[in-house]
Amino acid sequence: MRVARALAEGASVAESQADGYWYDQRSERERAREVLEALRTYRAAERAMRRRTRDEMSMGENELLALRYLFRQPGHTAQPSALVAYLGISPAATSVLIDRLEQSGHVQREVDAAGSPTAVRATAHADEDVRQTLGRMHGLMYSVAAGMDAQAQANVTGFLRAMTDAVDGVEPAAAGQYRQG
């Protein structure tokens, strides 16, 4: 109502809203809380989707992460040591993971003349399996992002990057720092 009255008196929309949004009388803290709650809700939905995907593909989290990593590499290929570093697991655990992915037909090992593994490559089967399982969900997510105007996309991208920086910058608490005595 305040905006309509201001517009009728010849003010621009920007001028009429300069002192705050007429439709949102919530405090900055309340709005921030709502944004963080929406982010938490999204993260919970994403975790549930990942769990369903793991169940559907009969894979663990690290196996899916390994495939995701391989798909981002040139030729969908990487050295086993790169997977060790990316996944943050031991070389032995990585070898077992590669064994499982190889048995399921999702990766192939490339070996040197001595038979030592030199690289791991995601197979066409892995690509088809992931696309079949995740294709619809990725399409829905893309539609949501594509349906936003350029400014909204820039705002969301900036927000998510800033949130990433915020959580990546948090150092772990010292042992016992938060214990109540």
For the chain, the structural domain boundaries read 59-148
Given a cut of 90, whether residue 92 has pLDDT beyond it is yes
> Which of 138, 113, 112, 109 minimizes the C-alpha distance to 121?
109
SS3 99: helix
Contacts of 2 (CB under 8 A, 6+ apart): 16, 22
By three-state DSSP, how is residue 108 classified?
A: strand
| d(C-alpha 98, C-alpha 136), whole Å | 27
Mean pLDDT of 127-154: 92
Quick one: fold of 59-148? Arc Repressor Mutant, subunit A (1.10.10)
Q: What is the mean pLDDT of residues 88-111?
A: 94
pLDDT at 11: 52
Please enumerate in sequence order all residues whose Cβ is within 8 A of that of 70, keeping only pairs 6 or more positions apart, or say none.
76, 77, 78, 107, 120, 121, 122, 126
Strand partners, 107: 122
Q: What is the mean pLDDT of residues 30-36?
A: 94
pLDDT at residue 2 tops 80: no
Q: Taking Cα atoms as reference points, which of 17, 23, 16, 20 lies closest to residue 7? A: 16
Query: What is the signed CA dihedral for 132, 134, 135, 141, rounded to 10 degrees?
Result: 170
